[in-house]
Amino acid sequence: MTFRAKLFFVFTLALLVSVGVIVAGVTINTRRAFDTLNAEHTNALLAQFQREFDRRKVEVVNRVHGVAEDQGTVTMAMNLARPGADVSVYVNDAREVAQAHQLDFLDFLGDDGSIISSYEWPARFGYKLAWVTQPQDWSSVGAFLTKVDTQDGPAIGLLSVTPIRVGDKNLYVVGGERLDKQFLSELVLPEGMRALLYLNLDSQFQAGDLVDVNGPVTQPDPFTATISDELARPTERSFTIPYTIEAGAAERFHALPLQGRDGELLGVLLVGNSQRDLVAIERHIAMLGAAVAGGGLLLGLLLSWWAAARVTRPVKKLADGAQRVSHGDLGSRVEVRGPAEMMQLANSFNRMTDQLNEQRERLVQAERVAAWRELARRLAHELKNPLFPLQTTVQNMQRAKEIDPSQFEEVFRESTGILLSEIDNLKKIISRFSDFARMPQPELAAVNLNDLARSTTKLFESQFSAVGRPPITSELHLNADLPAVQADSTLLRKALENLVLNAMDAMPAGGVLMLRTTAQDGGVHLEVSDTGTGLTPEECDRLFTPYYTTKQHGTGLGLAIVQSVVSDHGGRISVESEHGVGTSFHIFLPMKPPPRPPDHAPANGDGA
């Protein structure tokens, strides 16, 4: 992956994360805002319910007071205060009075709490409502919730008690309103909200006791668990009923327990808020957010691409420059416009290439000096050996002429023979150096390396099994489909002979010489391996240096000549060696050598 791609990926990732965080933040804040709004709506409704409830209490108290102040009721109280009063004549009075005062419940109770007349349960006369006669300042109690037994079963009512005292006896007027769907229908609710009322009339949850403004709720099952919990632990709580998998169908409820005078749970008011509008707005915001995020993302991608390109352009220039340098173009320079850091980097790069150039020049100079010194050392070493016998022989001839002229002739003959022999050695030495200096330009023709390998091996077969030396076995692993390459067969043969000679020198105790040819992509591969003593890593590093040798009497030019030939063919040579196992030389030759630069002068003895 390129630096630009990575940078683009990082920018994009950062952008995605940023957009995601923003969208999440907006969503969360929106939801919180709606939750707050929801809670405010619910609280407002609860407050409204509380106000309505308080108003109803006052109204109930006033109505019951109105009944107590009714002339008929006062007359009843006065008559009942008389000794031996007959209460039975009033048994049907409650009905008409309740209807006249718009009360759902009305009871006239005697001094002992016995029902004289009951509207909600006319047949209940004679029974006592003991709680009414308990010491209590009913005027300060006001209206309160309580369970009321009626002819149709228990109900929840908002009741008030007003005693009428005549003499030493009381007539209690107990009246009130029923808490039912009618009560709910009179609550003014905002759109999307509704109120439900659960009447706690049984020991456990009964679906029929959950009503809304239309009567029993049509889908009571979702409320079962929550209301059951509420009955067990009365407290204000909020909960959501999903109804379906569609989020908009959900409804959030707030449960308000309705308790009686003694804290008993008589009912639960449920204020519901439809989530449809909320979900619609949330979806709208989410879609808007997605559109903005998508647009921002697209814009961000373009900007990221542009920024990555802008940032990486000087880096790419630097990379290209570095690549050119790596290919040997030390004169390469990088021109960068951009941030100061990048310009500083480019300047540093340019300075570095300048320094490399200078160092290379110095190195070349140093190598030249070293080469000359090595050449001088080697020449001195090679020439010193024949010069010493030459000097001795000449001195012998001088001494022989002065001391015994009669034997001078014989000494002269022997000495001239020695001189000629040593002069011949000097010629050979000079000839080898001359050959290295005069490496010719390859004359290209189609060459089959397999043939070359076979002929070369055949040439040395007699030496492999020469008398007096341990035998060397040759192995040829030649690729039959090896293509011919454009090369100079004479030079290649010379290089191969040097490698074979080098291998023979490495195997003084005999061994195996193996030649292998293989076809490689764009060229051929030749491997020459021996099972000799091997080389150290340091020796491998310097092996192709001219005049470097690991042998006692080598000139150090054999492998240098091999490298020169391979190089002149546009190929490569490398060495692998393991001490005690052997050494392998690998030569790769292209199918055709690349054209040589016109100014590339052939190496010769006068070359630097």
Partner 1 sequence: MSRRLAASSAIIAALAILAIPARPARRPHYGGTLRVEIGSTVNSLDPARAAANPADATVEREIESLIYEKQNADGSLAGVAGSGPFRISEWEPGKRLTLAANDDFPGGRPFVDSIEIDMGRSAHDRLVDLGLGRTDFSEIPAEDARQASGLGVRVSATQPDELIAIAFLPGHSAADDVRLREAVADSINRAAIVDFILQKEGEAAGGLLPQWSSGTAFLFPTTPDTVHAKELRSQIAGSSEIRLGYDSGDALEESIAERIAVDAHEAGITVATDAIAPGANAGRNDARLVRARMSSAKPGEALTSILSALDRAAGIDVAPLRNLDSAEQIYAAGRGALDGFHLVPVVWVPQVYGLSDRVRDWETPAAGESWPLADVWLDPGAATKN
**Under the rule (CB under 8 A), what is the footprint of partner 1?**
72, 86, 88-93, 96-97, 121-127, 151
Of the two residues 15 and 174, which places its CB atom closer to partner 1 in the complex? 174
Q: Which is nearer to partner 1, 96 or 451 (CB)?
A: 96
> Least distance from C-beta 285 to partner 1, angstroms?
56
Between 97 and 559, name the residue whose CB sits nearer to partner 1. 97
Alpha-carbon distance of 370 to 513, in angstroms, equals: 35
Say how many C-beta atoms besides its own lie within 10 A of residue 543's C-beta.
22
Q: Closer to partner 1 at the Cβ: 154 or 534? A: 154
H/E segment holding residue 365: helix 340-403
Question: What does each C-alpha distance from 8 to 11, 13, 314 come to in angstroms?
Answer: 5, 8, 16
Q: Strand 511-520 and strand 472-477: pairing? A: parallel
CA distances from 534 to 23, 363, 508, 530, 544 (A): 70, 30, 12, 9, 15
Smallest gap from Cβ 121 to partner 1, in A, equals 7
Distance of CA 224 to the CA centre of its chain: 46
Q: How far is the CB of 99 from partner 1 (least distance, A)?
A: 11
- Residue with smaller CB distance to partner 1, 121 or 548: 121
d(CA 589, CA 524): 5
- What is the DSSP code string of 33-77? HHHHHHHHHHHHHHHHHHHHHHHHHHHHHHHHHHHHHSHHHHHHH
CB of 84 to partner 1, least distance (A): 13
Minimum Å gap between C-beta 175 and partner 1 is 16
CB of 208 to partner 1, least distance (A): 17
Dist CA 202 CA 200 (whole Å): 6
Q: Which is nearer to partner 1, 68 or 495 (CB)?
A: 68
d(CA 127, CA 321): 112
Q: Report the 10 Å Cβ neighbour count for 401.
A: 14
Q: How far is the CB of 146 from partner 1 (least distance, A)?
A: 18
- Number of Cβ within 10 Å of residue 94's Cβ equals 27
Q: Closer to partner 1 by CB, 121 or 205: give it.
A: 121
Task: Report the residue number, 73 or 583, with the smaller CB distance to partner 1.
Answer: 73
- Closest approach, Cβ 200 to partner 1, in A, equals 20
Q: 118 with 98: CB under 8 angstroms?
A: no
CA distances from 268 to 42, 159, 254, 593 (A): 15, 17, 10, 99
Which C-beta is closer to partner 1: that of 125 or that of 349? 125
Nearest to 546 by CA among 460, 433, 470: 433
Q: Taking the complex as a whole, how short is the minimal distance between the CB of residue 147 and partner 1, in angstroms?
A: 14
CB 149, min distance to partner 1, A: 8
Burial state string for 346-359 with b = 16 or more CB within 10 A and e = fewer than 16: beebbeebeeeeee
Question: Tokens representing 442?
Answer: 């390859």
Nearer to partner 1, 70 or 374 (CB): 70
